[in-house]
Structure 1
Amino acid sequence: MQRPCDSERVRLGLCLAVAFGLTGAHITGQPEGRRTVVGIRGSAFLINGEPTYTAASGFPDADPNIAGTLLNVRAVQAIFDDANYPNGGTKSKPYQSNTMGDVFFDYPDGTWDPDRNVQEFVDALSDWRRAGLLAFTVNLQGGGPVDGNYGEDVPMQPHYNSGFDPQGALKPAYAKRLQKVLEAADRLGMVVIVGFFYQGSDERIEIVDNDQHLRTAVVNGIRFLESLPHRNVLIEINNETSVGGYSHPLLQPDGIYELVSLAKQEAGNDFPVSMSWSGGIMPRGSKGDLALRMVDYVMIHTNGRTPEEVHETIQAQRRWTGHDRPLMINEDGVSAFNLHAAASERVGWGYYDQGWNNYRDGFQSPPANWRISTAVKWLFFEQVARLTGSPVPPRPSVDDPEYPVITIKGLKAGQTLTKPAWIEAIIEDRHARWPIHRVEFFIDGKPYSYKRTAPFMLGGREWWNPSEIEMGPHTLRVVAYDLRGPRFTQTCTIEEIPFTVGPQE
């Protein structure tokens, strides 16, 4: 398929704008309409020509390790809808999950509304940006809207969330919501990673010879993006190519290189192209290896890994795909320790907070509360603020009788430590089904040690020596994470104790 010439692309963009009802001031195609332009130079991401998180790009106090990276949030449900609704996904007609019970998308105060969802999302973005966040991922087929993807061993998710019709045409309602997101991010100086396909929903596009409808969807998606003035976009063809959850041949490791080639041809110099990868090194010379060498930036997922394994995964990926392009994690979990592991490797990191459908916890289970509404969310944005030299957001107050309770043994508020101390966090798990996942210790807001099994000792040992840190006042923070699903959903409780390190005996 030949790429249209510039005049043909302009005509096509205007036609698409008319077709989607997007004509007017926002669809002029004029350079002055662009506020945020994402680019790549070597292994660094740029915004408006400057490496991210540097003094030149407005972050004079940022950690030097994050220069040229994109700290990001997985917000794939920002343009979510369910074509089955209200015949499915309501309180009265919920979907069923083997692990999480009834699944429905109604708000506590009303019915599901995709326009409300996207409006609340763009309203929350200014808080994210104020804390130093520069990027987030949306997806035209969303993501799993419940922990464990309903726990069903079936190829297709029961809800119907797809921005493409069965023949690959882009649906106007999704296009309008996506445009709204791009406009808001553009104004704020933020980058949007636009995903096209998600496993379990790719089957909503009909599988035909040569996967032609899928190819059509890629072309239509990119041409729509080109019809807008916004150039704050990175393209993610599909989520986790390597997981084996796709029915379309071209979304699998042996076929994705064809879509990468097509997308790069269509996008030209307008949008960097990639897809995300989750585990496994492909043999050199294989089609999957070819695809990873064709992308403009390398994007991986590190779900379920320890901080040490994040380091190892990044290093292994660089041995495979080199150091000449940006490497980004756009999905991991909620642990700040993993965030810092990636940052120390000069890699952007993606916060993935599954939550559940209660309009409070998480960002991926509609209806999502896009505000910094829980301790888990706050801890991530607080750490982003510290890394980027930005204002720390206010900490929300959330009281839940099922959150874990932390009792700290061996340290009292205001105590002065002059010799080694036995400091242990004793965790009361108040949820009958899901266990405590891990306990993290911070000193003065910085990650210090963590443990996944009791006893939860500061520094991972029985007698902690306070001479390991400077004399003077400090604050110990203990964070206890509790699983709330089989895979990803977590809550947490935070306790802080001020103390002083005095002269050692």
Structure 2
Amino acid sequence: MKKIVLALLMAGTLVQAQKRKTEVSIQGGDFYINQKITLKGKVYQGMKLEGLLPNSRMVQGIYDDLNPETRILWKYPDTGTWDADRNTNEFIKAMPTWKNHGLLAITLNLQGGSPQGYSKDQPWINTAFKSDGSLDEVYTKRLEKILDKADQLGMVVILGYFYFGQDERLNDEAAVVNAVKNATDWLLDKNYRNVLVEVNNESNINKYDHAILKENRIHELISLVKSRQRDGRRLLVSTSFGGGFIPVDNVLAVNDFVLVHGNGVKDPARIEQMVKTIREKSSYGGQPIVFNEDDHFDFDKPYNNFIAATKAGASWGYFDYRMKDEGFVEGYQSIPADWSINSERKKGFFGLLKKMTK
């Protein structure tokens, strides 16, 4: 009898631990958080913000480097060593400030992004997946901390699974499929409701080793994520495309939201045109359109990529990295990262965001 009572108590504790505060959903072409449309009633310079999901690319929140030869590249200036737990803890500490400035979503990735901003080669090893597609528990523990904090704060996480330059860490296509199942099931079993899945980053990039991660077949993995359910509940899912690229029909036919990037798009008018072109495609079904990576700034100017996307009714995402000869405080993608808002570009983005949303 004591064993039964203990088991029931443990089960009750588990259920309690899995209760979540934040749920993201989509109704029509709008985002909702806890059944309330985002930014309800908000208008900025005549532009409607209601239903949008302003976001920032923060993909290195759980970063590590398992290659001892390159790990030294990411040493902190104050200690001379790299520390993955410090990185995650400082990330979490900064999250309330981001939210207070109006940020509703952050993009993470289980294989990160280039810790140099852009890289020709990627000899470092940063992946939450083992070679057979099973999950690395050390990574998922860090991820869980961030997802829990986001849930507490009422924030959404756009969680990418794969990144080119790291997808080759998986043995073969079967391992990729296994990884998608394992990551999706982990999120469902943990009852996360504030997560949007980005199967992979920029699926039209030819650097992916596995064919199923490329644009012609990525819809297979999107459909796989949609097929994994718990009590009739599933995760909302999409995949992103490179800067200026218009999503392909096979993806638009199955994704829950549209992910595009503004890298390389120097003229803000082109951002508006991208949104218009997507909406005019016969395969487009009215999904919300989200830019979750754009390395253009000009936040002090009346017309920039952020403003252009908002004007077109699309969500916009800030992407910043440490450029040549810049100091530690610059950028969010470069490792080691300073997650606070203390550079001119960071202040520019968050300042405009707060002005628009508060």
For the criterion TM > 0.5, the same-fold answer is: yes
User: Are the aligned partners of 2:125 and 2:166 in contact in 1 as well (CA < 8 Å)?
Assistant: yes
- Partner of residue 273, structure 1: 237
User: Are the aligned partners of 2:56 and 2:105 in contact in 1 as well (CA < 8 Å)?
Assistant: yes
- Partner of residue 78, structure 1: 61
Match of 2:218 among 252, 256, 260: 256
Within 5 Å, which residues of 2 pair with 1:357-396? 358-389=327-358
User: Are the aligned partners of 2:101 and 2:350 in contact in 1 as well (CA < 8 Å)?
Assistant: yes
- Partner of residue 205, structure 1: 170
- Partner of residue 455, structure 1: none
> Structure 2 counterpart of 1:311, which letter?
E
The SS at the match of 1:45 is: strand
**CA 1:81–1:27 in 2, change beyond 3 Å: closer, same or farther?**
farther
* Partners of 2:13 and 2:64 in 1: CA distance: 25
- Partner of residue 172, structure 1: 137
Within 5 Å, which residues of 2 pair with 1:82-481? 82-85=65-68, 87-90=69-72, 104-110=73-79, 111-149=81-119, 151-152=120-121, 157-207=122-172, 211-267=173-229, 269-278=233-242, 279-281=244-246, 288-305=248-265, 306-320=267-281, 321-322=283-284, 324-335=286-297, 336=299, 337-356=304-323, 358-389=327-358
* Partners of 1:361 and 1:280 in 2: CA distance: 27
**How far did 1:333 drift?**
1.5
**How far did 1:259 drift?**
0.7
**CA 1:26–1:242 in 2, change beyond 3 Å: closer, same or farther?**
farther
Equivalent pairs: percent with the same residue?
Answer: 39
> Structure 2 counterpart of 1:354, which letter?
Y
Within 5 Å, which residues of 2 pair with 1:16-95? 28-30=14-16, 33-55=19-41, 65-85=48-68, 87-90=69-72
CA deviations over 1:425-462 (Å, ceiling 9, x no partner): xxxxxxxxxxxxxxxxxxxxxxxxxxxxxxxxxxxxxx
* Partners of 2:155 and 2:237 in 1: CA distance: 17
**How far did 1:331 drift?**
0.5
**How far did 1:64 drift?**
5.5
* Partners of 1:26 and 1:302 in 2: CA distance: 46
**How far did 1:227 drift?**
1.8
CA deviations over 1:154-208 (Å, ceiling 9, x no partner): xxx110001001100010011011100101111111000010000111001112x
- Partner of residue 456, structure 1: none
* Partners of 2:101 and 2:344 in 1: CA distance: 15
**How far did 1:251 drift?**
0.4
The SS at the match of 1:241 is: coil
The SS at the match of 2:56 is: strand
CA deviations over 1:243-301 (Å, ceiling 9, x no partner): 2221101001121121111111015633101111224457xxxxx52222101111111
**CA 1:269–1:281 in 2, change beyond 3 Å: closer, same or farther?**
same
Higher strand share: 1
**How far did 1:324 drift?**
1.5
* Partners of 2:150 and 2:55 in 1: CA distance: 13
Greater relative contact order (CA < 8 Å, ≥ 6 in sequence) = 2
* Partners of 1:145 and 1:247 in 2: CA distance: 20
The SS at the match of 1:242 is: coil
**CA 1:32–1:172 in 2, change beyond 3 Å: closer, same or farther?**
closer
TM normalised by structure 1 equals 0.63
> Structure 2 counterpart of 1:80, which letter?
Y
The SS at the match of 1:382 is: helix
The SS at the match of 1:291 is: helix
**CA 1:62–1:341 in 2, change beyond 3 Å: closer, same or farther?**
closer
The SS at the match of 1:243 is: coil
User: Are the aligned partners of 1:71 and 1:349 in contact in 2 as well (CA < 8 Å)?
Assistant: yes
Pairwise CA RMSD of aligned residues?
2.2
CA deviations over 1:64-91 (Å, ceiling 9, x no partner): 6111110000000011000013x3231x
**How far did 1:25 drift?**
10
Is the radius of gyration larger for structure 1 or structure 2? Answer: 1
User: Are the aligned partners of 1:231 and 1:270 in contact in 2 as well (CA < 8 Å)?
Assistant: no
TM normalised by structure 2 equals 0.89
Higher helix share: 2
The SS at the match of 1:73 is: strand
CA deviations over 1:213-252 (Å, ceiling 9, x no partner): 1000000001111121321000000000112221101001
How many residues of Structure 1 are paired with residues of Structure 2 in the alignment?
336
The SS at the match of 1:78 is: coil
> Structure 2 counterpart of 1:303, which letter?
N
